[in-house]
């Protein structure tokens, strides 16, 4: 049996980090999920593709996407309804099953007449309060997300974008569960 690659081992660790992060309650710690997701899904050649190179597991992301709101709506966010098992039935959401390239373009919110996608949420929260990046957000939409986060110790209110980030993390964990299990088997047999 072959040894796990560095990408498979990194994926294994990131998957466990993501699982463990979901039980946290501190907004600052929860925002670190964005960094894990950025590495897994967005960075150049995403980690899930590198880790899946030898396994070729088909990875489907199942999620609920919100419809475009009426013209008079100022703000709309899917929050924990993005993850199908925690979603309440609603006509404002469409259930989807897509691969990574479509998943990162899924609508999670509308704010100030702008569509906010999964990738905007992840990148925006990576810039929020310098948790992952200390530089400025790359787009106006990322700036909207980053600005909404408050990580001060006095703030016990969990931001709606953090709820949505947790839902995105749950979708990712479910979608990559088979790949994780295959890597676990490889680690145990090597």
Instruction: Tell me whether strands 114-117 and 107-111 are parallel, antiparallel or unpaired.
Output: antiparallel
Q: What b-and-e string marks burial along 16-29, b requiring 16 or more CB atoms within 10 Å of the CB?
A: eebeebeeeeebbe
pTM to 2 decimals?
A: 0.90
Q: Which of 182, 189, 173 is nearest to 15 (CA)?
A: 173
* Phi, psi of 55, deg, nearest 5: -90, -35
Q: What's the chain's average pLDDT? A: 87
One digit per residue, pLDDT tens: the chain, 190 residues? 799 999 999 999 999 999 999 998 887 788 889 999 999 999 989 999 999 999 999 999 999 888 777 777 777 887 777 888 876 655 445 678 899 999 999 999 888 788 899 999 999 998 886 778 777 888 888 888 888 776 665 555 557 888 899 999 999 999 999 999 999 999 999 8
């Amino acid at each position: 049996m072959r040894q796990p690659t560095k990408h498979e081992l990194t994926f294994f660790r990131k998957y466990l980090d993501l699982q463990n992060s979901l039980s946290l309650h501190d907004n600052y710690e929860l925002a670190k999920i964005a960094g894990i997701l950025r590495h897994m899904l967005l960075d150049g050649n995403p980690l899930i593709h590198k880790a899946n190179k030898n396994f070729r597991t088909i990875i489907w992301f199942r999620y609920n996407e919100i419809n475009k709101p009426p013209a008079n709506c100022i703000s709309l966010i899917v929050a924990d309804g993005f993850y199908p098992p925690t979603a309440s039935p609603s006509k404002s959401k469409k259930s989807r099953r897509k691969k990574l390239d479509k998943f990162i373009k899924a609508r999670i919110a509308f704010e100030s007449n702008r569509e906010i996608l999964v990738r905007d949420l992840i990148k925006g929260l990576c810039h929020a309060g310098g948790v992952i990046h200390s530089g400025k957000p790359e787009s106006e939409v990322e700036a909207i997300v980053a600005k909404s986060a408050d990580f001060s110790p006095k703030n016990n209110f969990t931001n709606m974008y953090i709820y949505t980030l947790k839902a995105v993390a749950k979708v990712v964990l479910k979608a990559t569960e088979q790949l994780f299990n295959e890597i676990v088997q490889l680690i145990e047999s090597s």
